[in-house]
A and B are shown apart, each in its own frame.
Chain A
């Protein structure tokens, strides 16, 4: 292991194919690759949580043509600007952050065909990873499965922005070290016959951990949007704080929006809450805005944008945050 590590430390961050990385750093590759997939299979969660909808394939076998990439960040590696990646076809990805690494990544889905992605992420103690995922409104279906394992005092934040189309997002985060912090955020703007699903699994296996989940949806037309969120707190995983929230604005009578929280708490010293709301735009706010001379359609756009800004605000990089908000606003304008 030490041989591997020395080599990579010298070289800094690595972005290699599975084959190449496996050849150069067999020990690291062997330690991580597929570990979370196997564990998930043992959990049986795939059967329980993921397979409710026949519309998506739930197996993790990817076509041979899929990209297979490792992103490896050595100890204390840091980036000032966001590293951006475009995903245009099926992909397997392995992301490893060594101790104290602090990384900011952006994945933009630009599918040219039906696309499936399976990503495993390992966060070593004291590392920190922020991800934003952008799904534009495309005709190709996207299945995005992300497994995360968090070590002691690590921080993980994911913000997924779905602008419609046909997308299934699965995010499973397992805290295996104490003092870990997980943030899962999601924004969905859907209209027409868009179909978007978010499945999250938040597992606290060790005492002293926090998790914050907040998903928001604005849906109109005949859109179908589902949020399934499971929180699991293991026996003896005391002093956990786990929060989940899901707010939905329904702009038409024909949308179908579902929220299904599922709490499995086996420890007693736990602060845990979840809530889901469904509603229309605030009538009083619309009236107030119109009284100031704002057209109803403009008021609706401002309110809809305002509804999601707290979540785009979670994206720490200013430029990316503004870009994402701009894209959201354009999508809202097309609703």
Chain B
């Protein structure tokens, strides 16, 4: 589904990603961990197509197509969803109008007929249950005045609405209290199918108790320096990154 080969990217002339290789197949969950500043969010942004990053080398194929050639919105229509580490507030734009527009364009791209207002509202109602997000939030402006936890829940609500093929969730667990973490995590698990895949970027094992990864990767200085099964997350929690980093820096 996703194939990343030797991906290099820079921002303002500084190279941040220095050759990332990653393959994600349908039905898989990948966790990406790594110290602050190692390039995790950068990797997510480069996949999404954020303008400020320049890809200097490598390639990314998504659904067999060249992802890096597509404008941001087309990557979304193809089924790429990015759960933002810092979701953006959009004053004056209602959740309903925002999602209506997003889903409308996606359906157009897929050649599906537009949803009627009734169908759309029904969908909003159903999907909001998955993350237990109240209509008091969905009737407001996008993220405006939402608490940190509400914003993260709203990300998963949008993910549920857009039904992506690949979700990249950037620290969706940070800033959540225990209940919210459970709600968000079970929401994500609920949305998992054999056809889609998830990349979770996180610092904590606790999220991975719910969303059990098939692979755990450690990103350091713009490269994946180590990959293993879910037990790696536990080990990192106990021992930190030093032992991996030391080996890597020594080489």
Contact = CB atoms under 8 A, between A and B. Distances in A.
B225 interface: no
B125 interface: no
Contact of B82 (A291, A298, A307): A291
A28 interface: no
Contact of B88 (A288, A295, A310): A288
Given A302-B101, A306-B141, A293 B90 contact: no
Contacts of A284: 88
A292 B84 contact: no
The size class of the interface chain B forms with chain A is: 20 to 34
A300 B48 CA distance: 19
A85 B183 CA distance: 54
Interface in B44-86: 48-51, 71-73, 75-77, 81-82, 84
Contacts, number: 77
Interface string A290-331: 111111101000110111111000000000000000000000
18 contacts: A285-B88, A289-B98, A291-B75, A291-B82, A291-B84, A292-B158, A293-B77, A293-B106, A294-B73, A294-B101, A294-B102, A298-B101, A302-B93, A302-B101, A303-B90, A305-B93, A307-B91, A310-B91
B92 A308 contact: yes
Interface of B: 48-51, 71-73, 75-77, 81-82, 84, 87-93, 97-99, 101-103, 105-106, 109, 141, 158, 162
Contacts of B91: 306-307, 310
A292 B102 contact: yes
B105 A294 contact: yes
Interface of A: 282, 284-285, 287-296, 298, 302-303, 305-310
Given A294-B98, A302-B101, A306-B141, A288 B158 contact: no
Contacts of A302: 90, 93, 97-98, 101
